[in-house]
A and B are shown apart, each in its own frame.
Chain A
Amino acid sequence: DTGVSQDPRHKITKRGQNVTFRCDPISEHNRLYWYRQTLGQGPEFLTYFQNEAQLEKSRLLSDRFSAERPKGSFSTLEIQRTEQGDSAMYLCASSLRGLQETQYFGPGTRLLVL
């Protein structure tokens, strides 16, 4: 399968701990996006990379959140000092720069903060 992959699929942590999620985009896709989805809501945009450059960040991305895409391939999203309000599904998507710009989503990482 050559779709977007995310790891881990599920994460349970205690409040105050740090967590890191990984996203592997579709091969050759140079754009990568992170979204957050809470129960009963649509995904909300967090941040976007073109190659290794982080070009846009939502105001939802507090200073406890940091994302990287060091070599323009996979990306990591780290949440420091987790809070119960961080419990959500974290979705990654990728697209290929061009006319289509279709975003393809991964299966997500479901985070539960106790």
Chain B
Amino acid sequence: GENVEQHPSTLSVQEGDSAVIKCTYSDSASNYFPWYKQELGKGPQLIIDIRSNVGEKKDQRIAVTLNKTAKHFSLHITETQPEDSAVYFCAATLSGAGSYQLTFGKGTKLSVIP
């Protein structure tokens, strides 16, 4: 089955700096890669996703890049703000092939220091 590794497990940045979280996946057939933000006591909230036919996607301060050859994808947050502090999870799945379970990484706790 799919295995997703996520690094780093914790990340502290100064407000206004950029943050980068990296994930690798094992199943080359995976084609859908969402990123979720989880605040304390809440469920995961989708912040951005990317499909295997796209190399990069951007939404305001958030961007995701995908390298299918290396089986690697990354989340980039620019101009970080204190409200960006949360746990971020990457996930992977083979969408459209009858199995829709997401396999998650172990998460990155991001702290943005004012």
- Give the Cβ gap from B63 to chain A, nearest Cβ, in Å: 18
The CA of A31 and the CA of B98, in the complex, are separated in Å by: 12
- Contacting pair A45 B102 (CB below 8 A): yes
Docked Cα-Cα span, A42 to B93, in Å, equals 14
Known contacts A42-B91, A91-B44: A48-B107 contact under CB 8 Å: no
Indicate if A2 sits at the interface (CB-CB under 8 A). Answer: no
Report the interface size for chain B: residues with CB under 8 A from the other chain: 26
Q: Are B102 and A43 in contact (CB under 8 A)?
A: yes
Given contacts A103-B46, A107-B42, contact A48 B106 (CB under 8 A): no
A74 interfacial by beta-carbon distance below 8 Å: no
Check if B25 is an interface residue, CB within 8 A of chain A: no
Q: Is A105 in the interface zone, CB < 8 Å from B? A: yes
3 closest Cβ contacts across the A-B interface?
A42-B104, A45-B101, A105-B43
Question: Which residues from chain A sit less than 8 Å from chain B, CB to CB?
Answer: 4, 6, 31, 33, 35, 40-45, 48, 55-56, 58, 91, 95, 101-108
List residues of chain B with CB under 8 Å of any chain A CB: 4, 6, 32, 34, 36, 41-46, 49, 89, 91, 95-96, 98-107
